[in-house]
Structures are given as structure tokens and as C-alpha cells.
Structure 1
């Protein structure tokens, strides 16, 4: 009887090594081998295959048994990359260590966008939540500079043609604001996550986004008390709500103790001190690097 095979990127993603998209990049770069042979996109493997990434043997027993998800309140000025050659801050800098895998960002937020960003150790969950076929709704608060006409709002609701195809807001609601303000706030939702899509939609109407905050991803809303730069791990009910939204089975257990996960005064104070300490340390390191490069 022939062993059942699966796509290589799906197998590696299930081990918590990265998202499928990330791993496809590794395969294209020649970083992955199967039974001693450099892998190519489209390869399928069974449970007997010997897998290596960057020459390191991957244990098939290291798969994460518990799906974990972090909620992070991203500040402006952080990059959605693991490491930046220029030493700029990234969203991964302050995340907790994880054994036998690594955190995978579910989607991205650009440098000047803040708000809700989710991370998981489950590559299949990350892939499904990001894939357009699942139509996972994202909600944003947007501050727009310029005169927003009724026709512009009508266009954004009906759909406009961008360089990568048609796009529209599934909902678009104006917030109450001062009459003399040149900036107007809107709440908008999208069912996909194309690059800079919210900004490009407004720019198509000759309007500029001066502030952009993600408030919700699927059923999960950003916790109002969570400070920028802070994170919490989601409890079992929230994790399973995400999994059900993309047709994955429920998890039976959680890595989180609900009592320890409350955003009470003590934990918030500790979290804010940690964020501030990290920011001061990072600024010190940047100054030191500049002195080493260019002299005092």
C-alpha cells in the first residue's frame, strides 16, 4: 500500500516552520531538500521522506500539538518582517519564545499602519486565514485628508479598478466629527488583504489616508485595553472560533490559563513597562550602531 503524499509546503507549514507562502519562497531559493535532493515547487512527500531546511534535518515529530494564537497591538513604525538589515524595529522583536516552531504573522500591516496583528504557530491556520477564498473580513478605522464627496463614497462602495483588479469596501461608515476638521474618520471593511488595499482605494478618489488602524480580523476585535507594543495569547474559545471560520477542527486544549490572561491593572502596568524598556534599549542600540559606523 502506497503511503499518502501531501504537498511539501503544506507538510512544513503544519510543523510550524512558516506559512505556506513563506515556505514556497524557501523552496524556490533552493533551501529545502527531500531525501538529499533539492526540492522544487510542486513536490509531494509522504511520511517517510527525510526533510531538511538550510541543511538542518526536520523532525516530523516536532509538529505543534496545540494551536496557539497571539493578538498583538502593532505600533506605527514596525516592519512585518523577521529581521531588518537596517536595524529597524520589527513586529517579531518582543514576541515570546516558542519551542519546536516559530510564530507566523497572519497577514501584514505596512510600516505606517497600526492595530490588530495576529500570530500563530500553525502554518495551515495562517494560510487559510490569509487565502482570498475564505473571505475573512478585516475592519479598519481610517482618517482621510481632503474633501470626501458623496460620489467618492458611492465609487468606493460599488468598486473601483486598481492596478491588480477591481476592489471595494464591503461596508463604509462615516464617524461623527467636527465640521471644521479637514480630516474625516471612517470605519471600513474588506474581505481580502491585498497590499496597501485600503490606502489605494482612497487614493483612487484623490484622497490621502493620514491614519490607518486595523480593528478586527474575522471574529476577533482588538482588545481596547491592550497597549501598543503589547500582546496576549488567545484562549481556547477564540482560537477555535478562528479555526471554525476556515473549516479546521477544534482544538481540545489551550496553552493559556484564563486567569493569568486577564488584562488587569497589574498586568497592564507590567506590559507598559516592558514595552517602554524595549523601546529605550532599541533606541540605545540604534545610536550605538550609528556611532560604530560613522564615528562619534
Structure 2
């Protein structure tokens, strides 16, 4: 009977590497046990077939940041229908251009960031990376967001100018916002420090009713487009390593 050992020890023996290197191989999904990828270095093995992928590379174990196209009716951060529940291997966008390998550990301890109304759709962020968390919380008011807002009604005189600069929300003057018509019923907003509920309120001040809101971009990061168009609602992609908001 074979001795039961930690998977990392078996991989170190097979690959002729150090235990630390073996743990990196395992955590990055390069090791299979009886044909199944196992990402836990402490996993016990006995006489199972343990294999190291021929393409395995020693690389840092990077935390994941996920970009989700949130559908209407799903709660971004708090609520009974959390967006985090949509992030599964099955909903990974087939056209994800990031090149990040899908691993089971990427679905653990994801923190949702950047609020978005349940009635709104579009880009939201979930991350395991403390650097991303700090950027999107501590520097939130420095990052421009872009929205597409469908409206109905008749725009008040000088309404577009007031949307750009001249409104005060909850007693606080709003920072300048780049607002333009995309077509007869859709306005494009690009601005910093936009709060939950602010866009419908702004539209009301100039005689417009909001029909829908979709966030297209956070900082330098858009929803993303592939050969068949934009990433569909309910699907997600990875933020490529090195790309910043």
C-alpha cells in the first residue's frame, strides 16, 4: 500500500522541484489527480494518477478581478438577488480576450464593488485583489464612469447645459458631467462621483423620465466587445493582469 501524502509533495517528487514551486503549479491549475484538476496543495493522494501539465509554467498566484455585465433586476452589492451568484464557470464569456486561465479559486471570496441600482444594467466589478479594492473605493471620486440612459419626455429649455453643469443634488453642487445625445431617446453621461439614484434625479430636473440605465465603462475599462458584439448580460470576463481602472 502506498503512503498517503500531500499533493504538493507528490508533485515536487514528480517534477523535481521545490515544495513551494509545486504549490504554485497546483494553485494555478496545472495538476490533475485521476484526470481532475485539483487546486489544493494539501489534497491527500495515495495511489492516484497525479500528472503535471506539460505546458505548466511557474507564475505568481494572482488574485482575480471579474467584470460582469449585470442584468436588470439583479442586486450589485446588497439584496436578495446578488450579482455574485451569476459568476460561475458556465457564465464565463466565450470571447473573453484576457487570456486568464479559469480556475475554481477565482470564485472564492469575491468582493463586489461600485454600486449599481437593481433597475440598472451594465458593468460591475468583483475582485479578490486588494489593490483593485483600494482603487475603486479610496479613489472612487477620481474615476470617470460612462452610462447610456434611455429617456422619454421633453427636454426643458437649456436642459442639456444644466445636465452638464448647474445642478445640485441633496444640497451639494454636482461636478461637471459630459452629456450628449446618442440618438433621439438616449443620453450618454460621462462623469466622476456619480452616486446611486443620481442619474434619474438629474433627468427629472430637466423634464425627462428615465426608462433604462446601462453602465458602459468604469475608468479605462469598458464592458468589452468580441467578434459577435458586446459581452452579453449575465456573462463575465477577467480583468487582464496589468490593466488598470
Fold conserved between structures, TM > 0.5: yes
Give the deviation of 1:73 after TM superposition: 0.6
Q: Which residue number corresponds to residue 94 of structure 1?
A: 86
CA distance in 1, matches of 2:171, 2:63: 34
Q: Is the 8 A contact 1:156 1:168 kept in 2?
A: no
CA RMSD of aligned residues (A): 2.4
Residue ranges of structure 2 left out of the alignment (5+ in a row): 1-59, 89-103
Deviations 1:59-108 (A, max 9, x none): xxxxx962421110111010123562xxxx32011224537961112211
Residue ranges of structure 1 left out of the alignment (5+ in a row): 1-63, 178-183, 243-296
Bigger relative CO (Cα 8 Å, ≥ 6 apart) = 2
After superposition, the Cα gap between the structure-2 partners of 1:149 and 1:206, relative to the gap in structure 1 and judged at 3 Å, is closer
Aligned length: 167
After TM superposition, the structure 1 = structure 2 runs for residues 256-295 of structure 1, keeping only pairs within 5 Å, are none
| Higher-Rg member (1/2) | 2
Q: Is the 8 A contact 2:84 2:126 kept in 1?
A: no
Give the deviation of 1:199 after TM superposition: 1.5
Q: Is the 8 A contact 2:156 2:206 kept in 1?
A: no
Give the deviation of 1:154 after TM superposition: 1.2
Q: Which has the higher strand share?
A: 2
1:75 aligns with 2:76: no
Q: Which has the higher helix share?
A: 1
Q: Is the 8 A contact 2:77 2:113 kept in 1?
A: no
- Of 228, 231, 239, the residue aligned with 2:233 is 228
1:117 aligns with 2:124: yes
After superposition, the Cα gap between the structure-2 partners of 1:206 and 1:78, relative to the gap in structure 1 and judged at 3 Å, is same
Q: Which residue number corresponds to residue 153 of structure 2?
A: 146
Secondary structure of residue in 1 paired with 2:83: coil
Q: Is the 8 A contact 1:78 1:111 kept in 2?
A: yes
After superposition, the Cα gap between the structure-2 partners of 1:94 and 1:205, relative to the gap in structure 1 and judged at 3 Å, is same
Q: What is the TM-score of this pair, normalised by structure 1?
A: 0.51
